[in-house]
Chains A and B, each alone.
Chain A
Amino acid sequence: MSKLKSMIPDGPLEEKWNNHKNSVKLVSPANKNKLDIIVVGTGLSGSAAASTLGELGYNVKSFCFQDSPRRAHSVAAQGGMNAAKNYKNDGDSVYRLFKDIIKGGDYRAREAYVYRAAQVSNQSIDQLVAAGVPFAREYSGYLDNRSFGGVQVSRTFYAKGQTGQQCLLGAYSGLNRQIARGKVTMYTRRDMLDVVIVDGKARGIITRNLVSGEIERHSAHAVVLATGGYSTIYYLSTLAVGSNASAAWAAHRKGAFFANPSFVQIHPTSLPQLNDFQAKLTLMSESLRNDGRIWVPKKKGDTRHPNEIKEDERDYYLERRYPAFGNLVPRDVASRAAKERCDAGYGVGETGLSVYLDFSDSIARHGKETIKSRYENLFEMYQKITGIDPYNEPMRIYPAGHYTMGGLWVDYNLMTTIPGLFAIGESNFSDHGANRLGAGSLMQCAGDGYFILPVTIGNYLADEIKTPRISADISEFREAEQAAREKLQNLMAIKGTQTVNSFHRRLGRIMWDYCGMVKNEEGLKKAMKMLAGLKKEFWSDLRIPGTMDEINQELERAVRVADFFELGQLMCQDALSREESCGAHFREESQTPEGETQRIDSRFSYVSAWEYREKDKKHVLHKEELTFENVEIQERSYK
C-alpha cells in the first residue's frame, strides 16, 4: 500500500486545487524552452494538453495512430459535455456536479479529484467557446443546456448530436496553431509500442511508423499518455475499431499500476448486432430515452410484428421495476434490465438479443414534428442502418461495451506510478468511480488537458531543468527498440492459419459473456481458463500476411489483440477480487433481494491498483482506501 501516494493536498475540499496551484513549483519561460514533452494521443485530452503545453513554451511531440489528429475517437462523442455554469438557474453548482459524479460512480472515486474536475469544467466551456466551438444557442444568443442521464439539473452543453466532434475540432485547431508556431511537432500514423525508462523515470517512447514500418525512438523529459479507452476488448463496442489498450498496457508492463480494470460501462442504447461480420455497434444517444419507452412482449418468444402486439401484451419493464426514474434510470441499471429480459427469453429480433424502444406514445402526445426536431439525425441514422422507419415502428436496441472507467492509476498530479509518466482523459481511472455519468468524459478530458496537467506537469519538470536533452541513443532506448522489434517479429513468425479478427471476435465473446454486464465467480474463473487457452492458440496459429516493413494493418491489429489477452486476464482477476457489486460492476453474488447492485463498503471501499510483475507471475493488488468527508454515502436508489 505504501507505493500509492495520492498526493492530495491538505485543506478543505473547495480549497485544495487553489492551494495546490499556489504551492506547485513553476518552470520559467526560458527553462520551458529547454524541456521536451511527449504527448501520445490527440483526442480531446491529448490535443488540449499538447496545444497548451506548446503555448506555454515546452517543446512538444504529439503522436496518434490515425492519419490526422482530428480523427481521434473523441470525434464520435454525441450527447454533450457537462459544466457547472448554472445558466439555467436551476440550483446547479460545482458542489452539486461533484456530488452527482460521486453518486453516479457509486462511491468508488476520490472526492478531491472529482471536485477539481467539476471546478475546472466551467473554464473548459469558456475555452472551447472561444476556440470557435458552435455549441447550441437559444434564440437570445446565449448558450443552451439540456439535461442528461440520471441528474435533475440542465448542465449539458451540446452541439446537436456531434458534441465530441466539435469539441475535438476546437482542441485540434489549437494544436494546429502550435504546430504552425513550431512548438508542437506532429507525428501521425505512429503506434506507440513501449515507454522507455531511464534511471526510473519515463524518458521516451518507441513507436512503429505505420507507413514505413520503421521502429523509432523518441525521447523527452516527460511522457503523457492520452490514449483513450479499451472497450474494444469486447470486439464489438461503440468505440472506433482502432481504439486500444496497447499504449497503457506497455506502460503497465513497465511499472505503471492499472486501476479498476474491470470497471467498464455497458451502454444500454446501442443498435443490436445484425450480422456475424459486424465490425462495431453504433450508439444511439441515450437522450432517446427521454421520449422513448422500452418494452418487450409479455409472452416469451413472441415473434409478432411489434405494432401487432397490443398495449396490455407489452412489458414496460423499466417503468415496472423503477417507477420513479422509469426509462431514465442510469446506464448500468438499464443495461442489466435489458439483459435480464433477453436471458429470460423475452428478447426480440432474430437473435432474441434486443428490446424495443418505442416512440409512438411521444409522437401521439407531442406530434411527429416535435419528435423530429429533437431526434431527426438519430432517427435518420437508425433508418439508414436498419432500413426501419422509427416513426412508424419501434427501434430495436441492445447494450454494448462503451466506456472504461478503469485505466492507469494516477495521483493528484495525474502522474502514474512511473515518475515522469502522466495519464489523462479516458486512459486514466481518475474521476468516474464504478460508473460514468453521461457527458462527463468530455468534461474530464478538456479539464485534464487544458487546465490540470499543464499545472501539475510543471511541478515535476521544475526538478528537471538541469537535465540536458535526453539522448535516444543510449542503451535503454536501444534495448526497448530491440524488444519491440522482437515482439513484432514473434507475431510475424507464427505463420498459422487464422486471422487476427477471428481471434479478437472469440476473445471479445469470452469477455462479454463472463466479464461484461453480469459477472460471477464461476464464470470469471472459467473465462480466465478460456482466455489462457485462446491466447495459446493465438500465439501458435495466427496468420499475418506481408512484412513488417510496410503498411500492415493485420500486424497493427495483432499487436492490440496480443495485449488484450493480457488485459482480459487482469480484468477478470480484478472482477474476481471485488466480491461486491458497485455501479457498472455487477457480481451476481452481491445483489439486493430486488436484484440491484449491493455495495459492500466495509470491505471494498477502495481503488484496486494492480502491479505488473515479471511475465507469468501474478499481479499484485494494492488498495487505495477511499474516504468520504463531503458527501453522505447512500444506497444508489433509482426506484
Chain B
Amino acid sequence: MEFNLKIWRQKDARSQGGFIDYNLKGVSGEMSFLEMIDYLNKTLIEGGEEPVAFEHDCREGICGSCSLYINGRPHGPEDLIATCELRMTRFKDGDTIVIEPWRAKSFPVLKDLIVDRYAFDKIMQAGGFISVNTGAAPEANSIPVSKEAADEAYDAAICIGCGACVAACKNSSAMLFVAAKVSQLSLLPQGKAETAKRARAMVEKMDELGFGSCTNTTACETECPKGISMAHIARLNREFLLAGLKS
C-alpha cells in the first residue's frame, strides 16, 4: 500500500513546527501504525534525513506512551484502542494521513510528535494516593470489598495516563483522568478516609497547571482508549462538592 503522510515536525520546544509531506510506498496491511512510522523512519535515516520522533514503549496498549493525533482524532480512527494497537488495515491504499502531537497548553511539544505530559504526574502527586506506610497495612482480607465496588474501581483504575482525553477536549480539561483516580480510590474502603481532601487537592492542581474546565462535551469518553466512563466525573463532582462543604 501507498500513503501520503502529513506529519508535524518540530525541532524542539522553542522552535516553530509545521507539517511535512511524505509519500510512503510498500506498506503492508499487517503493519501496525507505529511499525509504519518505523518503516518511514528507516527510509528517512537511510536517505540521510532525521527520523520522526514519537513516543512508544510497550506497543500493546498498556503503558500509555504512544500519543498520536491521527486524522483529527487522538489514537486515530478506531474506538477503544491506543495508537500502538492501530493497524494499517484500517486505512485504504492511497489515503492521506495527518499525524500530529497532542495539542494542549499543559502538554508542550518537545519534538515532532513528543509532548511533555509530566503535568499528569504532578496532579497525581497532589493527592492520587492512599496514605499508607509500608508495613502499616492490615491483613488483606480484613477489608472486604464488595465485588461490585471492586469491579467499578477496576474500571476506573485501568486509565493508562495517555492524555487522549485532554487532547480530545476543546477546553483541554483533564477531568476524566482526574476523575478516574478519585473515583477508584473513593470506591474502595481503603481510600475513603481521604476522599474529600484528595478530590480538592487534585482538582486544584489540575486548574493550577492550566488544564481547562469540564463542560460535559463527552469528547474525552469517546476518545479514551480504555473506555473510562464520564460517570466517574459525576462522582468526582459529588466528592468535590462534599470537599467544598467540609472546608
Interface 9-mer from A6-14, A94-102, A158-166, A359-367: A158-166
User: Given A129-B140, A240-B57, A551-B114, are A502 and B42 also a contact pair (CB < 8 Å)?
Assistant: yes
The digit string for B187-226, where 1 denotes a CB below 8 A from any CB of A, is 0101100000000000000000000000000000000000
- Residues on B with C-beta less than 8 A from A134 are 145, 150-151, 153-154, 157, 184, 188
Nearest-neighbour CB distance to chain B for A412, whole angstroms, equals 20
Tell me the bound Cα distance from A550 to B135 in angstroms. 43
Q: How many residues of B contact A (CB 8 A)?
A: 78
Find out whether the CB atom of A280 lies under 8 angstroms from the CB atom of B45: no
Number of A-B contacts (CB under 8 A): 217
Nearest-neighbour CB distance to chain A for B118, whole angstroms, equals 7
User: Given A67-B65, A275-B35, are A543 and B45 also a contact pair (CB < 8 Å)?
Assistant: yes
B56 close to chain A: CB less than 8 A:
yes
B residues 63-121 touching A (CB-CB < 8 Å): 63-65, 81, 85, 87, 89, 110-111, 114, 116-118, 120-121
- A130, A277, A551, most chain B CB atoms within 10 A: A130
Of A55, A136, A180, A274, the contact of B134 (CB 8 Å cutoff) = A55
A200 close to chain B: CB less than 8 A:
no
- Residues on B with C-beta less than 8 A from A127 are 132, 134-135, 137
- A51, A71, A554, most chain B CB atoms within 10 A: A71
- Residues on A with C-beta less than 8 A from B114 are 551
Find out whether the CB atom of B141 lies under 8 angstroms from the CB atom of A87: yes
Find out whether the CB atom of A125 lies under 8 angstroms from the CB atom of B12: no
- Residues on B with C-beta less than 8 A from A125 are 140
B129 close to chain A: CB less than 8 A:
yes
Find out whether the CB atom of B62 lies under 8 angstroms from the CB atom of A75: yes
Find out whether the CB atom of B116 lies under 8 angstroms from the CB atom of A454: no
A33 close to chain B: CB less than 8 A:
no
A282 close to chain B: CB less than 8 A:
yes
B126 close to chain A: CB less than 8 A:
yes
Find out whether the CB atom of A137 lies under 8 angstroms from the CB atom of B110: no
Find out whether the CB atom of A132 lies under 8 angstroms from the CB atom of B190: yes
Find out whether the CB atom of B111 lies under 8 angstroms from the CB atom of A551: yes
A568 close to chain B: CB less than 8 A:
no
Tell me the bound Cα distance from A68 to B67 in angstroms. 14
Chain A minimum-CB-distance residue to B157: A134
Interface 9-mer from A168-176, A286-294, A339-347, A424-432: A168-176
- In order of increasing CB-CB distance, the 9 nearest A-B pairs are A141-B144, A130-B137, A173-B129, A126-B137, A134-B154, A52-B134, A137-B150, A275-B30, A129-B140
What is A's interface to B at a CB cutoff of 8 Å? 48, 51-52, 55, 66-71, 73, 75-76, 85, 87, 122-123, 125-127, 129-143, 159-160, 162, 165-166, 169, 172-174, 176-177, 179-180, 186, 188, 211, 240-242, 274-275, 277-280, 282-283, 381, 384-385, 387, 450-451, 454, 497-499, 501-502, 543, 545-546, 550-551, 553-554
What is B's interface to A at a CB cutoff of 8 Å? 11-12, 28, 30-32, 34-36, 38-39, 41-42, 44-46, 48-51, 53, 55-60, 62-65, 81, 85, 87, 89, 110-111, 114, 116-118, 120-121, 124-126, 128-141, 143-147, 150-151, 153-154, 157-158, 160-161, 184-185, 188, 190-191
13 A-B Cβ contacts within 8 A?
Answer: A75-B62, A76-B58, A87-B141, A126-B140, A132-B185, A132-B190, A176-B124, A188-B118, A279-B59, A450-B135, A454-B134, A545-B51, A551-B110
